[in-house]
Structure 1
Amino acid sequence: MFKQTTLLGRTYQFHSLKEILAKANEDRSGDQLAGIAAESMKERMAAKVVLADLTLADIRNYPLLSAEEDEVSRVIEENVQESTYAVVKDWTVADLREYILSDLQSGTDLLTLGEGLTSEMIAAVTKLMSNLDLIQAASKIEVLTTCQTQIGQKGVLASRAQPNHPSDHLKGMRASLYEALSYGIGDAVIGINPVIDTTDNIFALLSETKEIIDQFSIPTQNCVLSHVTSQMRAIEKGAPADMIFQSLAGTQAGNESFGISVSLIEEANALIQQKGTATGSNRWYFETGQGSELSSEAHFDIDQVTLEARCYGFAKKYQPFLVNTVVGFIGPEYLYNSKQVIRAGLEDHFMGKMHGLPMGVDVCYTNHMDADQNDMDNLSMLLTSAGVNFVIGVPMADDCMLNYQSLSYHDIATLRNISGAKPTPVFEKWLENQGIMWNGSLTNLAGNPTLFLNKR
Structure 2
Amino acid sequence: MAYRSTIRHFTYVFDDLKTLLAKATPYRSGDALAGLTALTYEERIAAQIALADVSLKTFLNEAVISYETDDITRLIIDTHDAKQFAAIAHFTVGDLRDWLLSDDATTTTLQQLAFAFTPEMIAAVCKLMRNQDLIAVAQKCEVVTRFRNTIGLSGCLSTRLQPNHPTDDIKGIAASMVDGLLYGSGDAVIGINPATDSPATVETLLHMLNDVINKFSIPTQSCVLTHITTGLQLIERKAPVDLVFQSIGGTEKTNHSFGVSLKLLDEVFAAIESLPKGTIGNNRMYFETGQGSSLSANAHEGVDQQTCEARAYAVARRYQPHLVNSVVGFIGPEYLYDGKQIIRAALEDHFCGKLLGLPMGVDICYTNHAAADQDDMDTLLTLLGVAGCNFIMGVPGADDIMLNYQSTSFHDALYVRKVLHKKPSPEFEQWLLQQGIMDDEGNRLTIDANHYLLKNI
TM-score range, shorter chain: over 0.9
> Secondary structure of the equivalent of 2:233?
helix
Q: Deviations over 1:200-225 (max 9, x none)?
A: 11111111011110111100001110
The answer as to 2:23 corresponding to 1:8 is no
Contact 2:123 2:307 survives alignment (8 Å): yes
Q: Tell me the equivalent position of 1:287.
A: 288
Contact 1:243 1:278 survives alignment (8 Å): no
TM-superposed CA distance for 1:243, in Å, is 1.3
Aligned equivalents of 2:156, 2:149: Cα separation in 1: 13
> Secondary structure of the equivalent of 2:136?
helix
Q: Tell me the equivalent position of 1:370.
A: 371
TM-superposed CA distance for 1:88, in Å, is 2.1
Aligned equivalents of 1:295, 1:182: Cα separation in 2: 38
Q: Tell me the equivalent position of 2:64.
A: 64
Aligned equivalents of 1:185, 1:385: Cα separation in 2: 19
Q: Tell me the equivalent position of 2:103.
A: 103
Scaled by the length of structure 1, what TM-score is found? 0.98
The answer as to 2:159 corresponding to 1:163 is no
Contact 1:324 1:360 survives alignment (8 Å): yes
Aligned equivalents of 1:226, 1:139: Cα separation in 2: 32
Matches within 5 A, 1:297-446: 297-445=298-446
Gaps of 5+ in 2: none
> Secondary structure of the equivalent of 1:88?
coil
Q: Tell me the equivalent position of 1:199.
A: 199
TM-superposed CA distance for 1:281, in Å, is 2.0
Aligned equivalents of 1:410, 1:272: Cα separation in 2: 34
Contact 2:329 2:342 survives alignment (8 Å): yes
Contact 2:161 2:180 survives alignment (8 Å): yes
Q: Tell me the equivalent position of 2:129.
A: 129
Matches within 5 A, 1:91-240: 91-240=91-240
Q: Provide closer, same or farther for how the CA distance between residues 41 and 451 of structure 1 changes in structure 2, counting only shifts above 3 A.
A: farther
Contact 2:439 2:445 survives alignment (8 Å): no
Q: Provide closer, same or farther for how the CA distance between residues 113 and 289 of structure 1 changes in structure 2, counting only shifts above 3 A.
A: same
Aligned equivalents of 1:111, 1:21: Cα separation in 2: 25
> Secondary structure of the equivalent of 1:6?
strand
TM-superposed CA distance for 1:66, in Å, is 2.3
> Secondary structure of the equivalent of 1:87?
coil
TM-superposed CA distance for 1:104, in Å, is 2.6
Aligned equivalents of 2:44, 2:112: Cα separation in 1: 31
Moved more, 55-64 or 42-51: 55-64
Contact 2:449 2:455 survives alignment (8 Å): no
TM-superposed CA distance for 1:3, in Å, is 1.5
Aligned equivalents of 2:36, 2:211: Cα separation in 1: 50
> Secondary structure of the equivalent of 1:437?
coil
Q: Tell me the equivalent position of 2:55.
A: 55
Moved more, 343-352 or 89-98: 89-98
Contact 2:161 2:189 survives alignment (8 Å): yes
TM-superposed CA distance for 1:6, in Å, is 1.1
Q: Provide closer, same or farther for how the CA distance between residues 447 and 97 of structure 1 changes in structure 2, counting only shifts above 3 A.
A: farther
> Which consecutive segments of 4 or more residues in structure 1 shift more than 4 A?
446-451
Aligned equivalents of 2:204, 2:165: Cα separation in 1: 14
Return the letter of the residue paired with 2:432. Answer: L
Q: Deviations over 1:264-307 (max 9, x none)?
A: 10111111221255342211000000000000000011001100
> Secondary structure of the equivalent of 1:185?
coil
TM-superposed CA distance for 1:173, in Å, is 0.4
TM-superposed CA distance for 1:78, in Å, is 1.9
TM-superposed CA distance for 1:447, in Å, is 9.3
Aligned equivalents of 1:76, 1:185: Cα separation in 2: 35
Return the letter of the residue paired with 1:94. Answer: G
Gaps of 5+ in 1: none
> Secondary structure of the equivalent of 2:123?
helix
Contact 1:179 1:447 survives alignment (8 Å): no
The answer as to 2:454 corresponding to 1:453 is yes
Moved more, 388-397 or 5-14: 5-14
Contact 1:182 1:447 survives alignment (8 Å): no
TM-superposed CA distance for 1:197, in Å, is 0.3
TM-superposed CA distance for 1:87, in Å, is 3.0
Aligned equivalents of 2:444, 2:181: Cα separation in 1: 13
Aligned equivalents of 1:435, 1:3: Cα separation in 2: 62
Contact 2:24 2:127 survives alignment (8 Å): yes
Q: Deviations over 1:431-450 (max 9, x none)?
A: 11111111222243259796
> Secondary structure of the equivalent of 1:159?
strand
Q: Deviations over 1:31-63 (max 9, x none)?
A: 000001000110000000000000011122110
TM-superposed CA distance for 1:246, in Å, is 0.2
Contact 2:158 2:186 survives alignment (8 Å): yes
Contact 1:287 1:326 survives alignment (8 Å): yes
Q: Deviations over 1:105-139 (max 9, x none)?
A: 21111122232111100100000111000000000
Return the letter of the residue paired with 2:362. Answer: V
Q: Tell me the equivalent position of 1:82.
A: 82
Contact 1:352 1:359 survives alignment (8 Å): yes
TM-superposed CA distance for 1:391, in Å, is 0.3
> Secondary structure of the equivalent of 1:163?
coil
Equivalent residue pairs, number: 456
Q: % of aligned pairs identical?
A: 51
Contact 1:359 1:389 survives alignment (8 Å): yes
Moved more, 47-56 or 77-86: 77-86
Aligned equivalents of 2:417, 2:399: Cα separation in 1: 20
Aligned equivalents of 2:298, 2:448: Cα separation in 1: 44
TM-superposed CA distance for 1:453, in Å, is 2.0
Return the letter of the residue paired with 1:300. Answer: E
Aligned equivalents of 1:392, 1:447: Cα separation in 2: 25
Aligned equivalents of 2:316, 2:374: Cα separation in 1: 30
Q: Provide closer, same or farther for how the CA distance between residues 273 and 447 of structure 1 changes in structure 2, counting only shifts above 3 A.
A: farther
Contact 2:155 2:421 survives alignment (8 Å): yes
Aligned equivalents of 1:52, 1:347: Cα separation in 2: 17
